[in-house]
Structures are given as structure tokens and as C-alpha cells.
Amino acid sequence: MVSEFYRNIVIATDGSENSQRAVSYGIELAKLSGATVHALYVVDTTPFSSIPMDAGWEEMYEALRREGEKATYEVKKRGDVSGVEVREVLLEGHPSKEITDFAENNNVDLIVVGTLGKTGFDRFLMGSVAEKVVRGSKVPVLVVRSEKQS
């Protein structure tokens, strides 16, 4: 029996190993409900917004875009295996704002995020995206804990 409770699910991914558990939950929910998944990666440009555009920035930007394309493609492959339609979405800006704005503007029923993504310096730059999504979203949010968390 296919439920129509969820029609559009955003799976926010950063391509990290830790985000894979959230991807699994999101794909499974989409499979059970017949929903379309929007695999969403946000190129976080906020730490660099005050830096003049030069060759170094362009290289970093392109590397982040490639990382995003790879991350969303991995979600698409997992969706294909499960028979779930996955649309790849690559945005740029502040991750939590882009995720919540996309959800509100695209009739999304659920946002799926992991609680621990990038770590170290990357995490310092991004802050707690999951927490900011939970606090700022008008759409229900499923937060999936990383297996590595105690």
C-alpha cells in the first residue's frame, strides 16, 4: 500500500559518510509513500562572501560544486536502486536558509537532515545546519542521528 502522506521529500546532503544514514531514511520513506526525493546540496558561499573573486576562490567554488554534484548523484543512484524518483538540486548560499526556502517554495512535505555532517574546520564554517533548519523551517523536519554519535 502506497501512502500519499509524503509527496515531496528533501534530503539535505553534504556528501559526508555521516549523512548517508539520513539518505537511507529519506529514500526508505519515499519508497513507502511514493514520494519524489529532492537531493539537495548547498554550496556554502557565506564564509567567502567578503572575499574578492579571484582564481583561488573560483577553484574552491568549482571544487565545492563538484562535491555537491557527486553528493546528489549518490542519492540519485540509491533512489534508482530503490525505485524512487530523485531530482538533484544544487544551490548556493547559506545552507539552512537555502534548505528551508527550497522546501517552502516547492511544496515539500518533509525535510530529512543528519545531525552530524562535515567535521573540524568544515563544521566550524557551517555551524549546526540541522539545528538551524529545525528552528527555521515551516515544514516538518526529520533529524537522523549519525551512527557515530554516542
DSSP string, 12-44: E--S-GGGHHHHHHHHHHHHHHTPEEEEEEEEE
> pTM of the entire structure?
0.85
List, in order of start, the domains of the chain with CATH numbers. Answer: 8-144 (3.40.50.620)
Q: Per-residue pLDDT tens for 38-75?
A: 999 999 887 666 666 666 777 888 899 999 999 999 99
The C-alpha cell that represents 123 in the structure block: 563544521
Q: How many CB atoms lie within 10 A of CB 112?
A: 27
Q: Per-residue pLDDT tens for 78-133?
A: 999 999 999 999 999 999 999 999 999 999 999 999 886 555 444 433 348 888 99
